Structure 1
Amino acid sequence: MNKRYKILSLLLSLFFFNILIGIASEGEKKRKQQPNIIFIFADDLGYGDLGCYGHPYIKTPNIDKLAEEGTRFTRMYATGVTCSPSRTGFLTSRHPASYQKFMPFHGFSGRTTITELLHNNGYYVGHIGKWHISGDENPPHGTYGMDFIKVMGNAEEKTAGRDDDIFAEAELFLEQRSQSDQPFYLNIWGHISHFAVDPHERFSEEFNEVNVDASQFDKYYQKKLKKAQELGGDVNQSFRNYLGDVWSLDLAVGRLLKKLDDLGLTQNTIIVFSSDQGPAPVKMNKKKDPNVVANMLGWAGGLRGGKHEQFEGGVRIPFIVKYPNHVPEGHINTTSVLSGLDWLPTLCTITNTSFDVSQYEGKDVSEIWFGKEYTPKRYLYWKTNSPNGAVSILNQNWKAHYLKKQKKYVLFNLTQDAGETTDVAQDNPEVLKDLIEKVEAWNNTLPTSYLKGEKTK
């Protein structure tokens, strides 16, 4: 009897041991399958401010190569028209106007972020560069599930590109993580091309032969060039300064991509390049040097508007995704309408991270990243964090805006008029009626007052 008991005990022990080994193996397999994620986020970079998006003068060979090795999207939308609201949409998959407490002062009011979800699923999460998503500009490690946080401003060395320190820190991060089997997520949030664009001359000198030809651009940008000229400086030099600033960003991206190759991380890393919203305006401020103001010559690629505006130039952003053997190489998706709200559910799906679909506004668009072309059935909305903010709405190729000064809605067919030049409201009353009903119903769900206030301690 004792002999049989010992044999049975041995068999049971072997059985449970194999189960444990199997669980461990599955866990190890899952970790190896989970991709690393790098999110490079430019600041106020226009939709047209890259060579691969059609800029006639810019030099961005490294970012262009990223697009050649991945997929470039032409209908990607930010959720806000300024820095913090856009970041809010990406990180929380909730529209920024739904936050009663303004995010750069008060954070995300307890709402869960993609970084927290990934951290809870075994990711090592890092954030380097610009912050602007809570009242604490020196956030402790662990904030929003981020294991490592280093908030950084412009590079200390003037001769360097102003985002060089951020990318150098990111390279150190990669070196450290390359020694671990743990998957990582990293935000690299720069400052180019936010005001003030004032690069070292070694960058602007790269474009000394450039004299801007306004006829190469649309009427919106021609007005911008005229404003820069009216400030009294040399518009060609202002243009070169902007080109030089963006070029310095491209050089930094190139170094980062080489580091990934050198460390053997490229094949299992999702790299995404984007911008938080459209280009800042040439707008005079008595406290600012007019020569530097004139340098704000970002281009929205023929679209109307820019930062602070809900027209296409303010909310349509460059979006490039590279993920070897998963995201098609050299592909340009011109049809799928995507949103920053989709960042969280899409990454959760790709990384097998659990999330409650009902708590988020975005869609899982991983199949679109991987090559399918369709547009999720939904309406996209825009409004600033103000009870009196004007609303805008997009459905497929129809976009409507409420113009407060004129006290009316205007309607644009983006298929025929991406530059939003011609109001077609009178010719499409049923389309406009539907959009107005949807956007006003959405607006009624938002806070009726907003708390901005001082930064929290």
Structure 2
Amino acid sequence: MFEQRHIHSLVTAGIALFTPAGIEGNAAESHHRNQPNIVFILADDWGWGDLSCHGHPWLKTPNIDRLAQEGTEFLQFNVSNPVCSPSRVAFMTGMYPARFCIHQHFNNAQHHIRCGMPDWLDPNAPMLPRILKQAGYKTGHFGKWHLTNMPIHGAPRPEQYGIDEYEVHCGGGDWPPSSRAQGLHRYMDKVVDFIRRHRNQPFFLNVWIHESHTPHDPTPES
């Protein structure tokens, strides 16, 4: 569909493919033809073995199986933290989440005080979207955010982390309604629209899916 540019899809929760340092000030002048598009798909609470290509006995995941077959699988990996928010911090910064005192999921202010955590990820941290934006990329984030949470007011918005376009849930409680994801089908339409509009320029797109978090409608097998 998007033959004019290659789209590299990352479909694993253990990938660190960047170093925050080393981006030159004139990086935005780089030739777009040498900059691959990046779609980072992160599925919430989705175990490594929950794919048919990884041997699951009854789950059928043909589209992801095809991505694995035609792309690159990373089968040796380390998980810096098994919890939601710290993992997202590691993806976005390339650093151990403990450096930011983030070792539990973001919840409310009382929870953060008990855990010795901030109310959000420091927007001054090195951020992958910001680095790529400086290199001439259009950046987007659709789906779960969870670098703060709904009970928190005053949290930095995604723009402060280098995100151009977004529609999220688990964002700040006082963010405008237009920023809030209204369900999987709606924000996946936004994902497709983002890719179509920016297919002729380099882009970085987070697609962070929440729906696999809890099996609200389990099958008899599960």
Work out whether residues 52 and 60 of structure 2, in 8 Å CA contact, stay in contact via their aligned partners in 1.
yes
Q: Secondary structure at the match of 1:57?
A: coil
Aligned-residue sequence identity (percent) comes to 37
1:167 matches 2:162: no
Pairwise CA distance, 1:51: 0.6
- RMSD (Å) for aligned C-alpha atoms: 2.8
1:126 matches 2:140: yes
Q: Which residue matches 1:192?
A: 211
Q: Which residue matches 1:144?
A: 161
Work out whether residues 45 and 192 of structure 1, in 8 Å CA contact, stay in contact via their aligned partners in 2.
no
Structure 1 residue runs without a partner (length 5+) = 1-26, 157-161, 205-236, 240-457
**1:345-384 to 2 correspondences below 5 Å:** none
Work out whether residues 142 and 190 of structure 2, in 8 Å CA contact, stay in contact via their aligned partners in 1.
yes
Pairwise CA distance, 1:169: 1.6
How many residue pairs match? The answer is 170
Work out whether residues 137 and 202 of structure 2, in 8 Å CA contact, stay in contact via their aligned partners in 1.
yes
Q: Secondary structure at the match of 2:63?
A: helix
Distance in 1 of aligned mates of 2:212 and 2:42: 11
**1:76-115 to 2 correspondences below 5 Å:** 76-100=77-101, 104=106, 105-108=119-122, 110-115=124-129
Cα deviation 1:49-92 (Å, max 9, x = unaligned): 00111101110011001111012222223221110100111111
For normalisation by structure 2, the TM-score amounts to 0.67
Distance in 1 of aligned mates of 2:89 and 2:50: 23
Q: Secondary structure at the match of 1:75?
A: coil
Structure 2 residue runs without a partner (length 5+) = 1-28, 107-118, 171-179
Residue 149 to residue 55, structure 1, CA distance change in 2 (3 Å): same
Pairwise CA distance, 1:152: 3.9
**1:291-440 to 2 correspondences below 5 Å:** none
Cα deviation 1:417-455 (Å, max 9, x = unaligned): xxxxxxxxxxxxxxxxxxxxxxxxxxxxxxxxxxxxxxx
Distance in 1 of aligned mates of 2:78 and 2:101: 22
Residue 82 to residue 170, structure 1, CA distance change in 2 (3 Å): same
Q: Which residue matches 2:37?
A: 36
Q: Which residue matches 1:323?
A: none
Q: Secondary structure at the match of 2:210?
A: coil
Q: Secondary structure at the match of 1:132?
A: coil
For normalisation by structure 1, the TM-score amounts to 0.34
Work out whether residues 39 and 206 of structure 2, in 8 Å CA contact, stay in contact via their aligned partners in 1.
yes
Pairwise CA distance, 1:107: 1.2
Q: Secondary structure at the match of 1:98?
A: helix
Q: Which residue matches 1:183?
A: 202
Work out whether residues 120 and 148 of structure 2, in 8 Å CA contact, stay in contact via their aligned partners in 1.
yes
Distance in 1 of aligned mates of 2:91 and 2:79: 8
Distance in 1 of aligned mates of 2:205 and 2:128: 11
Distance in 1 of aligned mates of 2:84 and 2:158: 22
Work out whether residues 127 and 149 of structure 1, in 8 Å CA contact, stay in contact via their aligned partners in 2.
yes
Distance in 1 of aligned mates of 2:40 and 2:97: 20
Residue 155 to residue 116, structure 1, CA distance change in 2 (3 Å): closer
Distance in 2 of aligned mates of 1:133 and 1:144: 10
Work out whether residues 44 and 192 of structure 1, in 8 Å CA contact, stay in contact via their aligned partners in 2.
no
Pairwise CA distance, 1:182: 2.7
Residue 198 of structure 1 aligns with an amino acid whose one-letter code is H
Work out whether residues 129 and 188 of structure 1, in 8 Å CA contact, stay in contact via their aligned partners in 2.
yes
Larger radius of gyration: 1
Work out whether residues 140 and 149 of structure 1, in 8 Å CA contact, stay in contact via their aligned partners in 2.
no
Distance in 2 of aligned mates of 1:77 and 1:163: 29
Residue 152 to residue 57, structure 1, CA distance change in 2 (3 Å): same
Residue 166 of structure 1 aligns with an amino acid whose one-letter code is Y
Residue 140 to residue 58, structure 1, CA distance change in 2 (3 Å): same
Pairwise CA distance, 1:110: 2.2
1:56 matches 2:57: yes
Residue 187 of structure 1 aligns with an amino acid whose one-letter code is N
